[in-house]
A and B are shown apart, each in its own frame.
Chain A
Amino acid sequence: MPIFDIDFETMPREGLEAIQLRRLQNTVQRVCATVPFYKKQFETAGITPKDIRSLDDLQHIPFTTKQDLRDNYPYNMFAVPMEQVVRIHASSGTTGKPTVVGYTRRDVDTWADLMARSLSAAGAGSGDIIHNAFGYGLFTGGLGAHYGAERLGASVIPVSGGNTRRQITIMKDFKPTILCGTPSYILHLAEVADDMGVDFKDLFFKSGIFGAEPWTENMRHELESKLYLKAVDIYGLSEIIGPGVSIECTEEQNGLHVFEDHFIVEIIDPETGQVLPYGESGELVFTSLTKEAFPVIRYRTRDISSLNPTPCTCGRTFVRMTKPAGRTDDMLIIRGVNVFPSQIESVLMEKQTTRPHYQLEVDRKGNLDTLTIKVEINDSVFSDDIKSLQTMENKIATDIKETLGVTARVMLVEPKTIQRSQGKAVRVIDNRNF
């Protein structure tokens, strides 16, 4: 398989580390001069950008968390004046304060390169037609894959998410060869195709790039056997750049190559913050090396993974991260949408005067994630009229859909029936197996 940026992607370790250090030093110097948050971080830690003399010195810099980004909502983490920002994205599905990220023209360019590398690792080239079912909008998936496809010289169909039957017609008629989307949506699409009597065997896909939510090896087998393609995992988050932080190659499908010339990846112990050696499982932490508008230093992703430095048979020398296996916080990813229990809680709070007791139950029915929200009834909302109770259930579901973008089934339950441990309600029951 051709490698899009062979010079960088197959670079020997020493050369790569020299580039990383130079770019890191530039980045810390720049953020300390332009972003008050980072200036303060360095001061608190008692260090200056000059103290970063080796890659190991990175460990002296404090972490950046999602909360830090929220505290600096919307633009205070930007390292360039607004005149230089050409694009704004925001993290998906947040009430209250989402995290807002910006891109300079060069950032958009870098991102397009990274996505072109990713598509290439998945087997795409200039002759391919890319069916891009990632959502277009504030979510980075759609536009990220789109720009990468154009950079690669492939033809991109910007179909976005939803309208499943039409997507299947497009697949039959436009003959796309590469498929992009969230794995749960694509499996749902496969079921609809089945209902329509369309067999993927008769379609033209050779590989699929799936991400924006965790998925398992079992799902890979299912995707590959139902869709007759090679399924690879892509990783990224808007805070880092969007999709295109790391990707599996079709040769091995074993670990995601982190584009280390643009990002330094670390695995830390989420409790102590200690950096863990290769092979050990912990929280993924990223530092951007080339981003202009929204650089991040040691950003804690809350995703759990481990790193494998063994060079890959595909030729890439970048370290590989294992498929993310869970989170260190209570964030749920439901059909590609990030959902925090606290967001559901704030919707429920609007409905009643007292603090609601609730529980989120996530299942995978067929191939779609389903969310059930159990809410304990109390005097302030109880009525002897069954219609008004049902209206309330529906209203909560509508509000959740509107504010978070996920479909949920709301179920009223009796008081004190939601399981509590040490007095605290168990907020989430995730029956999916990742």
Chain B
Amino acid sequence: MLAEQISIFIENKEGRLAEVTAILRDADVNIRALSLADTTDFGVLRLIVNDNEKAEQALRKEGFTVGRTKVLAVEVSDEPGGLNKVLDPLWMQNVNVEYMYAFANPQCKNAIMVFRFDDHDKALEIFKKHQIKVITTEEIARL
């Protein structure tokens, strides 16, 4: 049920992000979503792409350190309170968000939220109970 995200260590240097995106372009990898967490010296770029294998190989070949992390992607309806409907049951059950980012589902008007929780199993259970749609890596690849 979980989706997979790749993460890349990059120094805060001019043009570094563009180098990453160029590598992915040349490997014919499509970026679905991305988030960048940074400090003054470095950042961690987190990506949802259509082909993790290809992306990781291409980046490693260019000397990047690449990690893979399980994340939860869920569909959030495009209306007031859409995101809140997802978050409310989570915090009530003490599931915490470590980070999150969003992208638009090209097939409909809804957004897809990517979450990293401190307890994915519990989050999955809650989503199931509240009939919140969880999106798998395969589904992301097909978007």
Contacts and interface: CB of A to CB of B under 8 A. Distances in A.
Asked if A pairs with B, the answer is yes
B9 interface: yes
A383 B65 CA distance: 10
B67 A412 contact: no
B42 A412 contact: yes
B10 interface: yes
B73 to A, nearest CB: 15
A385 interface: yes
Interface string B87-107: 000000000001100000000
A389 B42 contact: yes
Interface stretch (B33-41, B78-86, B131-139): B33-41
Given A379-B67, A414-B64, A415-B63, A386 B39 contact: yes
Interface residues of A, number: 17
Which of under 10, 10 to 19, 20 to 34, or 35 or more describes the interface residues of B? 20 to 34
Interface in A329-351: none
Contacts, number: 49
A392 to B, nearest CB: 12
Identify whether the interface residues of A are mostly helix, strand, loop, or mixed. Answer: loop
A133 B4 CA distance: 58
A413 interface: yes
Nearest to A417: B11
A377 interface: yes
Given A389-B44, A414-B64, A382 B9 contact: yes
B5 interface: yes
Given A377-B9, A413-B11, A414-B11, A382 B41 contact: no
A390 interface: yes
Contacts of B41: 411-412
Interface of B: 5, 7, 9-11, 37-39, 41-44, 46, 63-65, 67, 69, 98-99, 116
Given A382-B7, A386-B39, A390-B39, 18 more contacts: A378-B65, A379-B67, A384-B5, A384-B44, A384-B69, A385-B98, A386-B44, A389-B39, A389-B44, A411-B41, A412-B9, A412-B41, A413-B11, A414-B9, A414-B63, A414-B64, A415-B63, A416-B63
Nearest 9 pairs of A and B residues by beta carbon? A384-B7, A386-B37, A384-B69, A416-B63, A377-B9, A382-B65, A377-B65, A411-B41, A382-B67
Interface of A: 377-379, 382-386, 389-390, 411-417
